[in-house]
Structure 1
Amino acid sequence: MPELLHARVEACYRLAEDFFKRPFPRPEVSFRLRGQKAGVAHLHENLLRFNPKLYEENREHFLQQTVAHEVAHLVAHQVFGPRIQPHGEEWQLIMRGVYELPPDRCHSYDVGRRKVTRYLYLCQCPDGEFPFSTQRHNLVRKGRRYFCRRCRATLVFSGEQRVE
């Protein structure tokens, strides 16, 4: 776990404690997040999850903005309760007033799409080709059936795969 990220989480908590004049329990910090999200705050578990790939590619901005963004969610939840909006005025107050940062809801990091495998399923229609995701293909292997809406035939795996 990168020490700089832990240090930034701690710094954000100290700023919040100075601002609100109260202590906050420190969260568990995890680097088990993939995909397009840079970070996620799990409010009821007091857990922060960060995307290691996006951290490595955008380190300076990530440490400054993303870490504060996610810590602000946990702090807002603990100060104002569970009924607030995720990016509502309470969260924005913390971003502006405590961290002196813009309350940006989303990041603009390059999240290049990863390659996905599609499994080709067929029906009896002349142009009846259906690309299935790995998840849907696995459901078929476990016994789930899908049908063509036009000919109503059961879709059958062709044995072909393609990577997109």
Structure 2
Amino acid sequence: MDSLQQAIIEHTLTCLRRAENKLGKQFPDPAIRFTQRGKIAGSARMQSWEIRYNPVLLAENPQAFLAEVVPHELAHLLTFACYGKVRPHGPEWQKMMTEVFNVPARTTHSFDISSVSGRTFLYRCQCREHQLTVRRHNKILRQQAIYHCMQCHQPLTPVTGNASQRN
């Protein structure tokens, strides 16, 4: 584990202690892992009381993780502990973000995700070209899905000589 990951663990626990003081309740320390993949900065797993952070996006955006991602994910766990199962970014979560952590209740990050974007495959419809993810491309190949253009509503077809690329 590197020093940045250690700093995130310590900050998560510091935020948890602050939240405990504000809420007048105690909570167990969550399991903290650096196993989140893809374009997601972090995720909270309520049943296992766990937070997963994306190590690639963390390395590229350490200040934003400290300021926004840590409270965001911790707010999910605390909202679940205080209110049970509610909408993921509903009023209870928003209140936790603004009143407990004093952080704007934004639901998504605005990080550059080019380093974590996977391969894409080129498809066409009648009106334009589309970049499909590996998952969607494979579903088409396995005949498990047909995707349509949102504009012209025609089915998407692969471009011949379809070489994968990075976004």
TM-score range, shorter chain: 0.7 to 0.9
2:96 is matched with: 94
Distance 1:115 1:48, change over 3 A: closer
Match of 1:56 among 56, 59, 66: 59
1:124 is matched with: none
Normalised to the residue count of structure 2, the TM-score between the two structures is 0.71
Match of 1:43 among 43, 46, 49: 46
Alpha-carbon offset, residue 26 of structure 1: 1.1
Amino acid at match of 1:27: P
Distance 1:92 1:145, change over 3 A: closer
Q: Which runs of 4+ in 1 moved over 6 A?
A: none
1:127 is matched with: none
Alpha-carbon offset, residue 44 of structure 1: 0.9
Alpha-carbon offset, residue 8 of structure 1: 0.9
Tell whether the 8 Å contact from 2:120 to 2:164 is kept in structure 1 after alignment: yes
Structure 1 unmatched runs, 5+: 119-130, 149-157
Alpha-carbon offset, residue 34 of structure 1: 1.2
Tell whether the 8 Å contact from 1:117 to 1:161 is kept in structure 2 after alignment: no
Alpha-carbon offset, residue 163 of structure 1: 2.1
Q: Secondary structure at the match of 2:8?
A: helix
Deviation per residue, 1:44-70 (Å, 9 max, x gap): 111101111110111011111100000
> What does 1:9-158 align with in structure 2 at a 5 Å threshold?
9-82=12-85, 84-112=86-114, 114-116=117-119
2:155 is matched with: none
Distance 1:161 1:76, change over 3 A: same
Distance 1:97 1:45, change over 3 A: same
Tell whether the 8 Å contact from 2:20 to 2:26 is kept in structure 1 after alignment: yes
Size of the alignment, in residue pairs? 140
Distance 1:137 1:105, change over 3 A: closer
Alpha-carbon offset, residue 138 of structure 1: 9.7
Normalised to the residue count of structure 1, the TM-score between the two structures is 0.73
The structure whose Rg is larger is: 1
Structure 2 unmatched runs, 5+: 122-130, 147-159
Amino acid at match of 2:79: A
1:162 is matched with: 163
